Amino acid sequence: MKRIVGKKNKLVAIVGRPNVGKSSLFNKILGYQKSIVCDWEGTTRDRILALAEWQGQYFWLLDTAGILRQFELGGVEESAMKQVEYSVQEADLVLFMVDGKDGMTNEDKRLWERMRKYQPKIRLVVNKVDSPALEIQAQQFYELGVKDYYLTSAMSGRGVGDLLDDIVGSNNLNKSLRDDFNDELRVCILGRPNVGKSTLINKLCGLDRMTVGPVAGTTRDAGEIEIKYDSESFWLVDTAGLLSPGRYRKKDINRFSYMHALAEARRANIAVVVIDGAEGLTRMDVSIVSLAVELGLGIILFVNKWDLVTNQESNQEKFMRVLQRRLGFAYWVPIVFGSALVGKNVNIIKKKLLEISAKYRTIIEAEQLAHFVSQISESNFQIARLGINRIKQVASSPPKFEVSFRHKKSLSCHNEKLMERLIRDYFSLTGVAIKLVWR
């Protein structure tokens, strides 16, 4: 195996005042996604970030309607606007959405004044344009001066295909793509509040660089520090504790920390998900692991504060059974029991980082994949029914494979997960999320 250059999928944000159809467009775009969706425990339902696909190209889609709803807005308030503007700053492309039936409103104008400085990466989307009369009315939005605009109907799908063509072919999208194969990998420390994330970073780098304390929510912003282990450099990124967005109070500053943590997770290559061993696995812990899987990160699960658990050996067996039952969708994630405070098994995390970073950035030769296809087609009747023609690796960081097959009716959620498991086990890709594209 050899290392290759990999590319991250980029972020497209939908912004606009309430009730212009942002969520409808969000759902319509996701409706074109051809991958099979499975139901398993841990799939998060309250995030506003999802992976979309068009013409074989993938991008992250962010619906800021969720931000505005969380603030229970009747109009555009300053606190919500700051969070929307932060999302726009993070995005590689912005869809500024207005309502063609309502016409230009004062809220549209106020929002545009805040967005104007990002104009080079903005596309104007005039929604709810379902008749020639509304096409004429939509011309009033041209005074905003946005060069690229689209007349759409998110409900019927009118104009959405042209918009998606622009998204996947956009120079803005392509110019910001960065190589993930470099000398420094970003390792994001994720977890609920007060599970010991900052303490773990301090122990990993050997310095008290991060503020720690017994009060949940001590860390509000993402802090980062570089460490070197053997010949590899890592940037450790601390983040605020994650809760379900609905748990934050209205206008709570921690809402901004939540969005910042998601942005840092999207930039990362590897996530160390920290859970409190003394408290046990919570629903939010499962959701955080699910987020890391969706983002295609390498993952290590660190069960912290294990020194506080009595009868550690027997309790570890029970804990592992719980993890296997509730994290079955991420069975491949390595698990480390330890204590950040006393440094127990912290060195194991460093070793796992080295192992996962190598697997995260590797490519499998075509000959090896051809041999794999030949073997599984002969030994596994479920895979044989698919009529696999070829499997090729199309990207790395994380590994992404294109599976060409003949019998589409035989493809099921189970077969898709089975193929992922077979590839991971055969090529020892433990700790790495892999992606499959079926053709």
What pLDDT does 218 receive? 39
Looking at residue 175, its pLDDT comes to 38
List of residues 6+ apart from 38 with CB closer than 8 A: 413, 416, 417
User: In what order do the strands lie in the sheet containing 435-438?
Assistant: 388-395, 400-405, 435-438
pLDDT value, residue 256 = 60
Same domain for 196 and 153: no
Q: d(Cα 361, Cα 5) in Å, to the nearest integer?
A: 8
Residues 204 and 280 reside in one and the same domain: yes
In the prediction, which pLDDT does 65 show? 57
Whole-model pTM: value is 0.60
- Whether residue 350 sits in one domain with residue 238: yes
Q: Is the separation of the CB atoms in 391 and 427 below 8 Å? A: no
**Residue after which a domain boundary falls, among 114, 145, 175:** 175
Residue-wise pLDDT tens for the chain (439 aa)?
333 333 456 789 898 888 888 888 888 888 743 332 333 333 222 336 677 888 878 788 888 754 444 444 444 455 556 667 777 887 889 999 999 888 888 888 888 888 888 888 888 898 998 887 777 777 788 777 777 788 998 888 888 988 998 888 864 444 333 333 344 688 999 999 889 998 898 888 875 444 344 444 433 334 567 788 887 888 888 887 887 655 544 444 455 667 777 778 888 899 999 999 999 999 999 989 998 998 889 999 999 999 999 888 888 999 999 998 999 889 999 999 999 999 999 999 999 999 999 999 888 999 999 999 999 888 888 888 888 889 999 888 889 999 988 887 777 888 888 889 999 999 999 999 888 888 8
SS (H, E, C) the chain: CEECCCECCCEEEEECCCCCCHHHHHHHHHCCCCCCCCCCCCCCCCCCEEEEEECCEEEEEEECHHHHHHCCCCCCCHHHHHHHHHHHHHCCEEEEEEECCCCCCHHHHHHHHHHHHHHHHEEEEEECCCCHHHHHHHHHHHHHCCCCEEECECCCCECHHHHHHHHHHCHHHHHCCCECCCCEEEEEEEECCCCCHHHHHHHHHCCCCCCCCCCCCCCCCCEEEEEEECCEEEEEEECCCCCCHHHCCCCCCHHHHHHHHHHHHHHCCEEEEEEECCCCCCHHHHHHHHHHHHCCCEEEEEEECHHHCCCHHHHHHHHHHHHHHHCHHHCCCCEEECECCCCECHHHHHHHHHHHHHHHCEECCHHHHHHHHHHHHHHCHHHHCCCEEEEEEEECCCCEEEEEECCHHHCCHHHHHHHHHHHHHHCCCCCECCEEEEC
Residue 221, pLDDT score? 39
Distance CA 255, CA 406 (A): 47
275 and 382 belong to one structural domain:
no
User: Do both 355 and 376 map to the same domain?
Assistant: no
Are residue 306 and residue 386 in the same domain, yes or no?
Answer: no
Are 155 and 280 members of one domain?
Answer: no
Same-domain check for residues 70 and 49: yes
Answer yes or no: do 378 and 270 share one domain. Answer: no
Predicted local distance difference test score (pLDDT) of residue 188:
92
Q: In CATH, what number is assigned to the domain containing residue 399?
A: 3.30.300.20
Query: Domain total for the chain?
Result: 3
Task: Name the domain boundary from 360, 388, 409.
Answer: 360
Domain that holds residue 71: 2-175
Q: What is the CATH number of the domain that holds 142?
A: 3.40.50.300
Cβ(15)–Cβ(87) below 8 Å: yes
